[in-house]
Amino acid sequence: MKTTLRVLIWFAIAAAVMLGAVWLAERPGTLTAEWRGWRIDTSVGVVLVAVLLLMLLGVVLWLTYRSIVGAPGALLEGWGDSRKRRGYRELTQGLAAVAAGDGPEAQKHARKAQTLLSEPALTLLLSAQAAQLTGDREGAKKAFDAMLEDDQMAFLGLRGLIAQSLRDGDQARALDYAERAFKIRPQTPWVVHSLFDMQAQIGAWRDAQATLDAGLRTKVITQNKGRTLKALLLAERSRASETEGNDGDALTLAREAFALAPERIAVSRRLAEMQFKTGDAKRAMKTLERAWALSPHPDLAQLYLKASGESDPLKQVGVARKLVASKPDDLESQLVMAQASLDAGLWGEARRYLQAAGGTSPPVRVCRLMAEVEERAQSDQAKVHEWLAKAAVAPADKAWRCSACGAHHESWRSVCESCGAFGTLHWRAPGTYGQILPPDPTAKPALTTMNTVYTTSGG
């Protein structure tokens, strides 16, 4: 159909040209030309047709000349396009090999792409990923270093170098790369989280606070999350000031931290410790009472009894009762009262609190305390063994657990020893972390993939 239409169009054009030529030839009038003894007599129409033919001949000759002169360049350009197409094909196949986890195949395509393409920004990324897949750490580092020379690829190169430095255990170099990445893109979540964690891991609390403030300004970190993280940073700065012998600054920083996040056990304990140390035991007890109403914890009860100055076991029962008054039915409150009753020799009271705390499935601490009550009350030894046997299979107690990696810690610390995340230790039973903010899509502990899961309540 298309061929027939094309023939008809050319036929129409030829007919139009012929009719035009006949029309010009029939125009009236003659033209005479004399030149060096020659004389030409012809019609005006013939002259016009001759001029038109000469013009067409000139166009044909010009096009022929251009095609001959431009042939080498066109040949080179066509070869270049073919080379680039082959290069992009190698690049595509290399990325597919990376996605499939085939390191040797990816390296083969990366080498070919580097040869065919004059775009190192694209081929360097493939080379780095291929080297990582095959375990060629030196090759990967070389590719990432080369990326730093390209403004568009520098940020991606820094990310690769940060991850590699962390895997090599070179924290100082990883921190340096993270600081450089932060200067390039301070609004990128993984950069803010990674830099913050690294600074916290080495105790650079002021630098970490500056990074946190930048994250809050760019809204990488939410206000609620930033509030709790800042409180924990202030608590750590308070400890540092106390170590330096500046109790005044330590107390001020502890107050600021408590004002931000009184629900964090570590924060409230820090303020109470400083208040007690500076001679204000009553205020320390008030702080602990408020903290207990928000987040009960055995350490708070121990500090409360110490701040009360009461050494008589019977009177300590009354002191403990005052502390737990805001949450009398909480497990920690019942355990505190059971321990105080046990120390005072009130076996019946101790049993009553432990029975209330244990319910139908008493945890380990309840079982062990029950065994101790029966032993100290000089009951039947069979009951002691029975409770110890129950303790062996009882549900695990609450403990300091990292909400990022789940690691267990004997005591609270601001940085998880397992994954390096800051502020993720909470007083929780296994598998229960309370209200946890959803992490970023790529968020994992800082020491592994440079991101951190932050939480807002507890510990």
Q: What is the CA radius of gyration of the chain?
A: 42
Q: Which two tokens stand for residue 183?
A: 């200067």
Of the candidates 439, 452, 444, which has an alpha carbon nearest to the alpha carbon of residue 192?
Answer: 452
Q: Which residue has the tokens 């657990």?
A: 401
In whole angstroms, give the CA distance from residue 10 to residue 409.
89
Mean pLDDT of the 190-200 span = 93
Report the Cα 309 to chain-centroid distance in Å: 48
Amino acid 102 reads D
| Token duo for residue 62 | 């010009």
pLDDT of residue 83: 61
CATH number for the domain formed by residue range(s) 222-306: 1.25.40.10
> Which carries the bigger pLDDT value, residue 163 or residue 434?
163
Cα-flanking dihedrals φ and ψ of residue 458, to 5°?
85, -160
Distance CA 317, CA 40 (A): 139
- Distance in angstroms (rounded) separating the CA atoms of residues 432 and 413: 19
Mean pLDDT, residues 339-368:
93
Confidence category of residue 114, pLDDT binned at 50, 70, 90: low
Domain boundaries 310-397, CATH class: mainly alpha
| Buried/exposed code over 257-283 (b: 16+ C-beta within 10 A; e: otherwise) | bbebbbbbbbbbbbbbbbbbeeebbee
**The pTM is what?**
0.70
Rounded distance, CA 95 to CA 213, Å?
38
Residue of 370, 293, 367 lying closest to 332 (CA atoms): 293
User: Where along the chain do its domains lie?
Assistant: 222-306, 310-397, 398-459
Joined tokens for residue 122: 């694209």
Q: 254, 274 in Cβ contact below 8 A?
A: yes
Do the domains 222-306 and 310-397 sit in the same CATH topology, yes or no?
Answer: yes
Q: For 404-438, write each residue's pLDDT tens digit.
A: 888 999 999 999 999 889 999 999 988 654 433 33
Lowest-pLDDT range, 97-111, 228-242, 393-407?
97-111
Mean pLDDT of 37-49: 67
At residue 5 the predicted structure's pLDDT band, cuts being 50, 70 and 90, is confident
DSSP structural state of residue 326: G
d(CA 346, CA 447): 50
The position carrying tokens 């780095």 is: 128
Whether residue 458 has pLDDT greater than 60: no
H-state helical runs in 359-442: 364-376, 381-393
